[in-house]
Amino acid sequence: MKRLKYLLLAAFMACFAACSDDDDFQDSILDTTPDPRTPLDDWIWDNFTNDYNIRVIYKWKTFEVSPELLLVPVDEAKVIPFLEVIQKVWMGPYIQLGGEVFFKETAPKQIALVGSVGFMEDGLYLLGEAERGRRITILGLNTRPINADRVEQFAHDFHHEYTHILNQLKSYPTAFETISAGSYTTAWTQVSLANVLGQGFISNYAMSDATEDFAEMVSWFVIYDADRWDLRLQAAGGPGAEGYTKLKEKETIMLQYMKNMYNIDLYALRDLVQVEIAKVIAEL
């Protein structure tokens, strides 16, 4: 045993000596020169990185995006207009209700922006995703002009993906999943909205699985005012109908989760989001 130890030690010392003697390192074949700083970089630093430790990725690096999707870079002229919208309809309301400490603790550390949507083999396309509670990717910015409809869509996208992050940090109650257990399906695109609502889902995509169901509930709740939300639920059949009852059960769990886990009143959040959406649209 001692002889084996000595041999291992001798081999280690020989390797160390060889490595120490070989100090004639060549330059890396990789380009490590940092990109020159631009006014856009300065704006992002001032508004996202310095205050909230959020890195905005907009410069094209293939390893930053899904390799199986055929994507193109975002038009840099569209970066600030988009980020200004989400500052108002997503960041501001949460910061106002939860405080800056809460937002810094829960905000994604990276926001990645992509010019094209992510077309997939099944004919669907990807507009956004949240990864491991640390990053939100938004796609399709080049083909989605900022008008009234897109302001709502952007608000929906970010509140949806941010809800995934909140759920990854603190899980929603398992009781939510039991409400529609057995009704989730990969064929959700083939179901009419009337049928979807009648089964207790707020949207087609909510029917894909429970995590998307929860995120869709939150995102539709905050971008709809009280009257539009009520109309959506009435379209599920109204009080007493199966779809309406399930949606109200999900709504109750959603409201309690946000209040109990994060001290966020979703009614108050909705009011703030509605005000900001109206302001942004008025300024278009």
pLDDT tops 50 at residue 76: yes
Classify domain 170-284 by CATH number. Answer: 3.40.390.70
For 10-47, the pLDDT digits (tens) are 444 444 444 444 555 455 555 555 678 899 999 999 99
Q: Are strands 135-138 and 110-113 parallel, antiparallel or unpaired?
A: parallel
Q: How much is the pLDDT for 10?
A: 45
pLDDT tops 50 at residue 266: yes
Residue 257 exposed, middle or buried by CB count within 10 Å (0-12, 13-18, 19+): buried
- Better-scored residue on pLDDT, 130 or 179: 179
Architecture of the domain delimited by 37-145: 3-Layer(aba) Sandwich (3.40)
Q: How much is the pLDDT for 11?
A: 45
pLDDT tops 60 at residue 4: no
Q: How much is the pLDDT for 133?
A: 65
Which string of b and e fits 156-181 if b means at least 16 CB within 10 Å?
A: bbbbbbbbbbbbeeeebeeebbebbe
Alpha carbons 102 and 87: distance in angstroms, whole number: 16
List the structure tokens of 130: 């949240």
CATH 3.40.390.70 range(s) for the chain read 37-145, 170-284
**Do 84 and 72 contact (CB within 8 A), yes or no?**
no
Q: What is the pTM of this model?
A: 0.84
Sign, Cα dihedral of 182, 184, 186, 190: positive
SS3 content of the chain, % helix, strand, coil (to 5): 60, 5, 35
pLDDT-derived band at 122 (thresholds 50, 70, 90) equals low
Across the chain, the runs of DSSP E, i.e. the strands, are 55-57, 110-113, 118-119, 125-126, 128-131, 135-138
Beta-carbon contacts of residue 106 (< 8 Å; ≥ 6 apart): 98, 162, 165, 166, 169, 262
Q: How much is the pLDDT for 71?
A: 79
pLDDT tops 60 at residue 98: yes
**Do 139 and 111 contact (CB within 8 A), yes or no?**
no
| Count of other CB atoms within 10 angstroms of residue 270 | 20
Residue 203: closest CA among 183, 186, 189, 222: 189
